[in-house]
Structure 1
Amino acid sequence: MPTFLDLLYDEAPRADYDDLVASLVAAGADPEATRRECDVALRLRDLVARQRSREAELSALYQTAHDLTALRDVDAVLEAIVRRARQLLKADMTYLSLNDVDDGTGEGASYMKVTDGALTAEFEQLRLPLGTGLLGLVAQTGAPYFTADYQTDARFEHRRYIDAAVDGERIRAILGVPLLVEGRVIGALLATHRTVRPFPPEEVSLLTSFAAHAAVALENARLFAELDAAARRIGEQAAAVDRAAEAHDRLTALVLRGSPLDEVVEVLGQVLGHAVGVRDREGRRLAGPEPILVAEEVPVVAGSERLGCLVVLGDPDGDAHGQVLDPAERRILERGAVVVALVLLFARSEEAAEARLGGALIADLLRDPQDRAEVGRLRARAARHGVDLDGGCVVAVARLDGVEAEVAARAAVRAARASGGLVGVHDGQVVLVARADDGPVAVGEALARSVATTGGTATVGIAAGPPDALGSGLSAAYAEAARCAEVLVVLGRTGEVSDPAGLGVARLVLGGGGPEALTDFVEDVLGPVLAWDETRGSALCRTVEAWFAAGGSPSGAATRLHVHPNTVAQRLARVDELLGRGWREPARALDVQLALRVVALRGVAPGDVPSAHI
């Protein structure tokens, strides 16, 4: 016959204990003593069962703690917590919520974070205002609550949509415990049954332990996130320091090499990964691509003087406004602005020196040196300036308004470099002596544009120089260009560019000159017509004279010439082709009539003698 110890060892059911008591009493054992032994054995059995349950709980808690050290994904840890809590408590569903104090409603809410065993998607998206329902009460007070039958429990504030969600899950019994971090409630952990039943203290204690682990997981996740963010910031700062150091080294090397502004801007754009440009004080482009669509800019200053600005170019197809650089990149841009300021100051110093030396050389050239040795010395000085004026030159003289001559000359240095010439100040005017590759007018316009960058205005007279500007004859070209600029000012044509031919009759009235000036004037005004008459024996000049004499009437001119009106019309059309239709306008008509009168005063009828003999 087995003993009570045998039953304990075999984990026998309760009925076996009762059967053994009956067998022992029937065999003559003391009934009272036998029942006491049975009660002791049953208490031992319950104790062993509770111990085993406790061991299972501790094992689950240990495994959860192990997961916390092995997992960085907080969602995965929380899912493991609610899943194990459901298994140990043999609950139908477990879920975890987090508090959102600043949810915009002013009362705060707790929302579902993780669920296990839910039947409806609506429940997984439930948000409960703090203080409502059992979950909201736990999340608000930080105390555990449980109920054997939620729907009939009047202790909790019921709301229709909450009760509807509970009904949808067929929930009856609910146990909720708070998630606490340093005494602060951050959410709640709940276990539910779909039958009415109480919750013994050991289940409350077990769920509370799981809630503590969940709180640790959330806090660890926050700390890990902060550590990761700090590591990223440190990495970004280190990268920014390295990038700034690289930018500093590259920009410093450019300054030491005396690199031009375009190269500095190109390197700065490579370092920043954005297109970069430089504008002057008036917003004109100094370097970088065109057109400039500014997204960000920093000033370029030297002391208290603003030289311009360094700009980052935006996407032409996108929004040009708003910051495109991070703080580290903006510091690089600011450092680049300092380098740009240095480059601009160096360039200004070079241009000032070049204009000063150019002015001295121009002054010596204008003395028309005849001595071969002196010409050789001037040629050597010009070579040091990189000047090549062999094969003809142009002299441009600028009368200035709104700008000092030294400032204007410095601004014109680039135009002089581009034309392989010299620029400087002479007698208070800016003088440019350059090659005539692009034509005299182009040289004068380049000088005027350069002066305009300073905010001033240049009225420029131009004249053709001698074949060898380093020899004699340059002073005569200078005098002619200076007179031309003076006449433009007297005529009120400030800001224009012109050679003597562009002055028309005003050249004769205001500009002085002798017979050669008259000959040049006639050639400039009537040259193509005179040449046509000379080569073809025609009478275009006589027809033009008759047309003027008839008050601009073709028929009247035909009567004077004894020809058909159609002949006059054909001749005038030819003159239009040779001189342009503008010759009939009042200003040019005066020049044409005066040229015809000069021809007549010299004793030769227009059209009878070649223009070369006038």
Structure 2
Amino acid sequence: MTRRSFIELLDDEAPADEFYERLRLAERDCADEGELEVLRQEFAVAMRVRSRMAWQRQHESELRALYETANDLTALRDVDAVLSAIVRRARQLLAADVGYLSLIDDERGDCYIRTTDGSQSAAFPALRLPLGTGVLGMVMDNATPYATDNYLADTGIVHLGHVDTATTEEGILAVLGVPLLLNGSVMGALLVANRSPRTFSHDEVALLGSLGAHAAVALENARLFEEARSAVRDLNEVNAEVRAYTESLELAASAHDRLADVLLQGGGVADVARVLADVLTGQVWVLDPDGHELAVAGGACGPGIPPDSAIEEALQTGHATEITMAPNDVRAVAVARAGSQHLATVVLGRGTPLRELDRRILERTVVVTGLLLMFQRTVAEAEERVRGELLDDLLSDPHRDPDTFRERARRYRADLDAPHIVIVARAHGVERHRGAGAAAELVTEHHGLAGLRGDDVVLVVPGNDPLGTAGGIISRLRNAVGNDVTAGVAGPAVGPQSIAECYREAQQCLGALLSLDRPGEIADARALGFARFLLGRTEETEVDDYLSRVLGPVLAYDARRGTKLTATLDAWFAVGGSLGAVGSRLHVHANTVAQRLERVSALLGDEWRRPDRALDVQLALRIWRMRQDQNRRRQP
């Protein structure tokens, strides 16, 4: 077999053993000393060339590693991944058993291992070292590389028990570390270690230093990148806050302008509720202190009454309070008040809690609601007072200058010479001024009068149908006050005096209804009959009116003709309706009695015989008889 020359071995990148084997065989087989000398020179040159080629390959590998590291830095995405790659390449290029990178922790004043490669124990990667200890201490204190071929035996290093224990567990002996420098300051160190004694060359120190410089750049880039990202994040947050603040200003300005329009245009509580529901996108209930709805808006349906505790908290603090009624149903409760007086409760319902801006808008809306209610109350009280004074004067002394009453009434578009219905009403469970205010609003629409008389509300409204007119008015009054209303009715009345007389009759009817425990009903004199005398407040003139209403035609006939129809009718009831018994009692024929009763039917109508009507007639006859007896006793 032909032996290969040294050049062929170089070309094949053969191991060193083959070069030595080629020289040994030549020395054995060649006897010419001159040829051997030439061969030895070729061997020496080949070994130098081979060593140079190996160095070149190593240098190319190092440059390639540095180039790849630089590429990693230009495409920095994850600093931990870049540092891990640097440590791994350092370990590979220096053929080390372990590679690791340590950094200084400025907050804790020590250093820690950030990244490792090739570590086999659990304790070593978790090491923390005080500054100035271990190889790290030598590197950081001097800001220069430091190498030791036997860490545990190196007396120039400050040793710590837990560090030496972890190093022993890892089996480390030789260590090389280079500083990570940034603007002349040490921020950490890049290290490689062997588990057997080793002396690191200058080239290895330089190579590790180059990788350490890349690591420092990676850390600085990561810091700058994070600062830039944090700045962008902060800027985005600021922009978002500015946008939110701008939107809040626009929302608050819109709410302010719309509420101002409601006030300037004379709007009411319902208009305020609609603005609030639209601006804050929710459902709105406005409730009076008793929980009755004054207005609803935003598609509100169902009861909006919040718990008493929420109302009490809002009333005491003066600020809105929130309660969760159900999932996606948050209610904000605010109270409109004047001093300590509770004017109204405003409830906002929606699916999300209030922001601070929403809370301010709600509370501002509540203030506007309170102003409107106070204004309405002031206007109503003034209107009620003026109309009430007119009505009180008219009812107290209708004979005092009727023309003045008519003129005062015309100021309120009321015509006292037109037919009017008089209603005396009692609103149950409601503060009397509230009932009077509601009544004043109603009569204003009808061009009538209203006012308070004691605990009762008196209404005088145009109309010819007492019960029909009163039914509509009282129904609306019930809705306004949110409770039962009992009313006595009389009329129609024309002129101040007639209105005063009808007032007394309606008052009497109301008294009878209350005595009969019939709250919530409406009745006039015809409906109550004699019960109003027995149970109502009755005066002499009212008795005269009653006699005139029930027996008036018969009494008038007797007075004109000198007949005895009234006495015949009284006797007929007294004997149980027997014509013969009446005739015997009055000393007339039964046919005469029959003729007289026919005349009574013509005057009173046939219904006087019906049981309910007959009872009224009998009561009237009893009163007539008592007066007859009284008159006879007064005669000398």
TM-score by length of 2: 0.52
Offset at residue 224 of structure 1 (A)? 4.4
The reply on whether 1:594 has 2:590 as its aligned counterpart is no
Q: Once the two structures are superposed, what CA deviation does each residue of 1:291-312 show, in whole Å capped at 9, x if it has no partner? A: 3335221111122212121111
> Are 1:60 and 1:84, in contact at CA under 8 Å, matched by a contact in 2?
no
Q: Once the two structures are superposed, what CA deviation does each residue of 1:195-253 show, in whole Å capped at 9, x if it has no partner? A: xxxxx968995788767766776676566445434432332122112211211121122
Offset at residue 602 of structure 1 (A)? 12
Aligned to 2:473: 443
2:498, 2:622 → 1: CA distance?
31
Tell me the SS of whatever aligns to 2:526. helix
Aligned to 1:241: 249
Offset at residue 376 of structure 1 (A)? 6.2
1:601, 1:145 → 2: CA distance?
120
Aligned to 1:300: 336
> 1:62 and 1:88, CA in 2 relative to 1: closer, same or farther beyond 3 A?
farther
1:225, 1:435 → 2: CA distance?
74
Residue type of the alignment partner of 1:462: V
> Are 1:504 and 1:521, in contact at CA under 8 Å, matched by a contact in 2?
no
Aligned to 1:337: 366
2:333, 2:616 → 1: CA distance?
59
The reply on whether 1:43 has 2:65 as its aligned counterpart is no
Tell me the SS of whatever aligns to 1:311. strand
Aligned to 1:63: 75
Offset at residue 596 of structure 1 (A)? 6.5
Alignment of structure 1 residues 197-212 onto 2, 5 Å? none
Tell me the SS of whatever aligns to 1:414. helix
Aligned to 1:422: 449
Residue type of the alignment partner of 2:302: P
The reply on whether 1:325 has 2:379 as its aligned counterpart is no
**Among candidates 268, 271, 290, match of residue 263 of structure 1:** 271
Alignment of structure 1 residues 173-322 onto 2, 5 Å? 224-288=232-296, 289=300, 291-293=302-304, 295-314=331-350
> 1:601 and 1:341, CA in 2 relative to 1: closer, same or farther beyond 3 A?
closer
Q: CA RMSD in A?
A: 5.4
Return the index of the structure with the highest Cα Rg.
2
Aligned to 1:461: 488
1:222, 1:481 → 2: CA distance?
83
> Are 2:83 and 2:215, in contact at CA under 8 Å, matched by a contact in 1?
no
Once the two structures are overlaid, the 10-residue window that deviates more, 339-348 or 261-270, is: 261-270
Residue type of the alignment partner of 2:436: A
2:83, 2:122 → 1: CA distance?
30
Tell me the SS of whatever aligns to 2:354. coil
Offset at residue 403 of structure 1 (A)? 7.0
> 1:213 and 1:302, CA in 2 relative to 1: closer, same or farther beyond 3 A?
same
1:285, 1:403 → 2: CA distance?
15
Residue type of the alignment partner of 2:263: V
Residue type of the alignment partner of 2:266: G
Residue type of the alignment partner of 2:488: G
> Are 1:423 and 1:433, in contact at CA under 8 Å, matched by a contact in 2?
yes
Q: Once the two structures are superposed, what CA deviation does each residue of 1:239-279 show, in whole Å capped at 9, x if it has no partner? A: 11221121112112222332111111112211111121211
Offset at residue 63 of structure 1 (A)? 2.6
> Are 1:370 and 1:472, in contact at CA under 8 Å, matched by a contact in 2?
no
> Are 1:441 and 1:462, in contact at CA under 8 Å, matched by a contact in 2?
no
**Among candidates 113, 126, 133, match of residue 143 of structure 1:** 113
Aligned to 2:593: none
> 1:403 and 1:32, CA in 2 relative to 1: closer, same or farther beyond 3 A?
closer
Aligned to 1:353: 382
How many residue pairs align between the two structures? 418
1:273, 1:522 → 2: CA distance?
68
> Are 2:73 and 2:82, in contact at CA under 8 Å, matched by a contact in 1?
no
**Among candidates 481, 495, 504, match of residue 479 of structure 1:** 504
The reply on whether 1:381 has 2:408 as its aligned counterpart is no
Offset at residue 56 of structure 1 (A)? 2.7
> Are 2:66 and 2:211, in contact at CA under 8 Å, matched by a contact in 1?
no
> 1:404 and 1:59, CA in 2 relative to 1: closer, same or farther beyond 3 A?
closer
Residue type of the alignment partner of 2:410: A
Residue type of the alignment partner of 1:269: A
> 1:521 and 1:56, CA in 2 relative to 1: closer, same or farther beyond 3 A?
farther
Aligned to 2:562: none
The reply on whether 1:500 has 2:525 as its aligned counterpart is yes
2:481, 2:115 → 1: CA distance?
87
Q: Once the two structures are superposed, what CA deviation does each residue of 1:565-613 show, in whole Å capped at 9, x if it has no partner? A: xxxxxxxxxxxxxx9xxxxxxxx97x4662474699899xxxxxxxxxx
Q: Once the two structures are superposed, what CA deviation does each residue of 1:314-360 show, in whole Å capped at 9, x if it has no partner? A: 58xxxxxxx54322212111110010010000000010011011113
1:328, 1:13 → 2: CA distance?
83
> Are 1:441 and 1:499, in contact at CA under 8 Å, matched by a contact in 2?
no
2:210, 2:525 → 1: CA distance?
111
> Are 1:445 and 1:497, in contact at CA under 8 Å, matched by a contact in 2?
no
TM-score by length of 1: 0.54
Offset at residue 486 of structure 1 (A)? 3.6
> Are 1:401 and 1:458, in contact at CA under 8 Å, matched by a contact in 2?
yes
Residue type of the alignment partner of 2:499: L
1:442, 1:462 → 2: CA distance?
12
Residue type of the alignment partner of 1:412: A
Offset at residue 379 of structure 1 (A)? 5.0
> 1:522 and 1:149, CA in 2 relative to 1: closer, same or farther beyond 3 A?
farther
Tell me the SS of whatever aligns to 1:465. strand
2:474, 2:501 → 1: CA distance?
17
1:245, 1:305 → 2: CA distance?
29
Q: Once the two structures are superposed, what CA deviation does each residue of 1:152-202 show, in whole Å capped at 9, x if it has no partner? A: x57689xxxxxxxxxxxxxxxxxxxxxxxxxxxxxxxxxxxxxxxxxx968
1:244, 1:370 → 2: CA distance?
58
Percent of aligned positions with the same letter in both sequences?
25
1:430, 1:601 → 2: CA distance?
34
Tell me the SS of whatever aligns to 1:439. helix
2:349, 2:123 → 1: CA distance?
66
Offset at residue 148 of structure 1 (A)? 4.3
Residue type of the alignment partner of 1:473: S
Offset at residue 377 of structure 1 (A)? 2.6
Aligned to 1:98: none
> Are 2:292 and 2:482, in contact at CA under 8 Å, matched by a contact in 1?
no
> 1:415 and 1:356, CA in 2 relative to 1: closer, same or farther beyond 3 A?
same
**Among candidates 413, 419, 427, match of residue 392 of structure 1:** 419
Q: Once the two structures are superposed, what CA deviation does each residue of 1:445-467 show, in whole Å capped at 9, x if it has no partner? A: 545665667xxx8653221232x
2:384, 2:445 → 1: CA distance?
14
